[in-house]
Chain A
Amino acid sequence: GENVEQHPSTLSVQEGDSAVIKCTYSDSASNYFPWYKQELGKRPQLIIDIRSNVGEKKDQRIAVTLNKTAKHFSLHITETQPEDSAVYFCAASPNNAGNMLTFGGGTRLMVKP
């Protein structure tokens, strides 16, 4: 089955700096890669996703890149703000497996004002 590794487990940045979180996956059949943000005590919420037919996707301060050859994808947050502080999870899913998601272990991002 799929295995997703996520790094780093914790990340502390100064407000205004960029943050990068990296994930690798094992199943070459995976073709859907969402990123979720989870604030303390809250439900995970989708912030951006990418499918395997594109290499990069951007939404305001958030971007995701995908390298299918190397089987890794990354989340980039620019101009970080204190409200970006949360735990971020990457996930991977092969469409032909019913879209169940295999999650990485999470990254706790702390943005210091």
Chain B
Amino acid sequence: GAGVSQSPSNKVTEKGKDVELRCDPISGHTALYWYRQSLGQGLEFLIYFQGNSAPDKSGLPSDRFSAERTGGSVSTLTIQRTQQEDSAVYLCASSLTGEGETQYFGPGTRLLVL
């Protein structure tokens, strides 16, 4: 079946602009995660959605970052007033539930802030 998909695959923006990144999880997966991977680094947790519960935003690095998940499926990560340090690959993952289940990653969106 279809895996996790993300769009766009690449995004180049100017400092100060807002960007929106989209994630389509695997159908039926109730848990959705956003991670950030800076060049040559590990993955850093950003935010977690589980069903209709309030999201866990504990990993968001600043209030310029926000995310929503509509209808329990598609999620959008928004970065306002982008900074050069926001340049990274943003990875989305989904799992069947939020309890010790395998997380399947999307291909990521490579964001470059000039």
Contact = CB atoms under 8 A, between A and B. Distances in A.
Contact of B100 (A31, A42, A43, A102): A31
Contacts, number: 61
Contact of A34 (B35, B44, B102): B102
Interface in B16-46: 31, 33, 35, 41-45
B48 A98 contact: yes
B8 interface: no
Interface residues of B, number: 25
B14 interface: no
B101 A99 contact: yes
Interface of A: 6, 31-32, 34, 36, 42-46, 49, 51, 89, 91, 93, 95, 97-106
Given A95-B100, A98-B56, A99-B100, 14 more contacts: A32-B100, A42-B107, A43-B91, A44-B105, A46-B103, A49-B102, A89-B43, A98-B48, A99-B48, A99-B98, A99-B99, A102-B45, A103-B35, A103-B43
Interface of B: 31, 33, 35, 41-45, 48, 50, 56, 59, 91, 95, 98-108
